[in-house]
Amino acid sequence: MASLIDRSTTAPGGFARFRRTRRTEALRRLVRETTLEPSDFVYPLFVTHGEGVRREIGSMPGQFQLSLDRLGPEVEEIVALGIGGVLLFGLPETKDALASGAYDPNGVVQGAVRAIKGQAPELLVVTDVCCCEYTDHGHCGVLVDGEVHNDRTLDLLARAAVSHAAAGADIVAPSDMMDGRVGAIRAALDAAGHEATPIMSYSAKYASGFYGPFREAADSTPQFGDRRSHQMDPANAREALREIAADVDEGADLIIVKPALAYLDVVARAREEFRLPIAAYNVSGEYAMVKAAAANGWIDERRIALEILTAIKRAGADIVITYHAKDAARWLDE
Q: Which residues bind ligand PBG (CB under 6 A)?
A: 128, 130, 132, 175, 211, 214-215, 220, 227, 283-284
Q: How far is the CB of 284 from ligand PBG (least distance, A)?
A: 3
Q: Which is nearer to ligand PBG, 194 or 227 (CB)?
A: 227
Say which of 258, 291, 313, 326 is annotated catalytic: 258
**Can you say whether the dihedral through the CA atoms of 254, 260, 266, 272 is positive or negative?**
positive
Q: How far is the CB of 166 from ligand PBG (least distance, A)?
A: 20
Secondary element (H or E) of residue 161? helix 150-167
278-282/254-258 β-pairing: parallel
Q: How far is the CB of 172 from ligand PBG (least distance, A)?
A: 13
- Half-sphere exposure for 188 (CA within 13 Å, toward CB): 22
CA separation (Å) from 39 to 80, 85, 254?
11, 8, 16
Burial of 268 (0-12, 13-18, 19+ CB in 10 A): middle
Neighbours of 147 (CB within 10 A): 13
CA–CA separation, 12 and 145 (whole Å): 74
Q: Which is nearer to ligand PBG, 163 or 220 (CB)?
A: 220
Say which of 95, 117, 205, 326 is annotated catalytic: 205
CA–CA separation, 219 and 69 (whole Å): 20
Q: Which is nearer to ligand PBG, 55 or 215 (CB)?
A: 215
Secondary element (H or E) of residue 320? strand 319-322
CB 166 within 8 A of CB 103: no
Q: Which is nearer to ligand PBG, 132 or 169 (CB)?
A: 132
Angle at 34 between CA 28 and CA 35, to 5 degrees: 85
Contacts of 306 (CB under 8 A, 6+ apart): 36, 328, 331, 332
Angle at 311 between CA 272 and CA 240, to 5 degrees: 40
Neighbours of 9 (CB within 10 A): 5
Q: Which is nearer to ligand PBG, 28 or 173 (CB)?
A: 173
Is 205 an active-site residue? yes
The SS3 of residue 273 is helix
Q: Which is nearer to ligand PBG, 38 or 44 (CB)?
A: 44
Is 258 an active-site residue? yes
In the complex, residue closest to ligand PBG by CB: 214
Q: How far is the CB of 259 from ligand PBG (least distance, A)?
A: 7
- Active-site positions read 205, 258
